[in-house]
Structure 1
């Protein structure tokens, strides 16, 4: 008879999650979030929008079980060898989220701008710590 509870996730799905996690240097919680957030991850995992996604604890427990069994290194070695045989070069990367925050315009005089470009603190700011704390002396442009 069944012990009850939810059915387990497919081991192939769980290994694919570990591949995503390894290639993108993600934590368990971030992996769970990104699987729910990115259609590309869902497509790689063959998941639909309404399918269940393993939570961070499930991912961690699966990785720990593979590690305890001594199978995780062999699995990834075999996976990397398969990629190399297909002429793919497995590389890891990172997903970065850049957020630009609006900052107030600095109304600096030409003399202050020249001092900042030279790497100096303008004379008028040296004895005013409050003013100095509100000035960004490194950022001069964004892209």
Structure 2
């Protein structure tokens, strides 16, 4: 953002109320490790040379994060940069001087992240940051999964549904889409993310969600397996998966007690799906939506940890 200011920007500075959107963007701006994330993308980003001057890398990364938080398509992201002063300020774009990235530029940047799987590296970088700041702990793991819906209609150019998505039954209802499987620490910070189509069983992904250093393992009944319990406890661990079997007052009380800890693993789902709107896939194919999921859960980790990453009053 340059020093040239528009009249609208100057007037915006004089307003008295700080909106919830502004406060949220300010908090996220302080906790995101910009230097680390930019360094991950920089080797793959276009360098200035012949042709049109590329947009600043940090600006494009900031716009990409805005897309995750406000569930914006590429055209919507371009429109919001014209409509919202708070978003322009977060993206470091000034209408009076800077060029606003168009939807094609935003699309190409997203494709760059997908081609090099850079959001997986961002996810790892955020996890390492939380571990280094003693926010993420390794004493236990909670495993869980959530469904992300996909369009089941065949009214499209290919007259087919997404071949990488599948359907599954939950209760008496059928769902078509994908699953996000996560492993979190006892506080609810996700350390592992795996995606599959919706037909994959939850328990089948359990070996991919543990890191091997935990002493306790929590999860709902979908992860219960007697053979796993025997093996886990034989190695000195506490197998605290909710028990299956006939319901009795004692078993119900035990599962309720275990669920008090297990439920913390669902806080990230609330942020990503309810607050940020990632309830339905935007793209075809599991890879593209996995890229988005990794970015969303990394940012959700930072949101939940923001008060511990930034001292009060800064």
**Bigger proportion of residues as strand:** 2
TM-score, normalization by structure 1: 0.53
Secondary structure of 1:53's partner?
coil
User: Take 2:89 and 2:130, find their aligned partners in 1: how far apart are those partners?
Assistant: 19
Residues 23-68 of structure 1: per-residue CA shift (max 9 Å, x gap)? 1111000000001110000110121122211111111111111111
User: Take 1:80 and 1:44, find their aligned partners in 2: how far apart are those partners?
Assistant: 23
Aligned residue runs from structure 1 range 1-143, under 5 A: 4-50=50-96, 51-79=98-126, 91-92=271-272, 93=275
User: Which has more radius of gyration?
Assistant: 1
Secondary structure of 1:9's partner?
coil
Q: Which runs of 5+ in 1 are unaligned?
A: 96-143
Q: 1:66 to 1:81 in 2, by over 3 A?
A: same
User: Take 2:64 and 2:101, find their aligned partners in 1: how far apart are those partners?
Assistant: 11
User: Take 1:53 and 1:82, find their aligned partners in 2: how far apart are those partners?
Assistant: 32
TM-score, normalization by structure 2: 0.26
Return the offset for 1:75: 2.1
Are the aligned partners of 1:42 and 1:48 in contact in 2 as well (CA < 8 Å)? yes
Secondary structure of 1:23's partner?
helix
Are the aligned partners of 1:28 and 1:56 in contact in 2 as well (CA < 8 Å)? yes
Q: Which runs of 5+ in 2 are unaligned?
A: 1-47, 136-266, 278-314
Secondary structure of 1:22's partner?
helix
- What is the aligned residue count? 92
Are the aligned partners of 1:36 and 1:42 in contact in 2 as well (CA < 8 Å)? yes
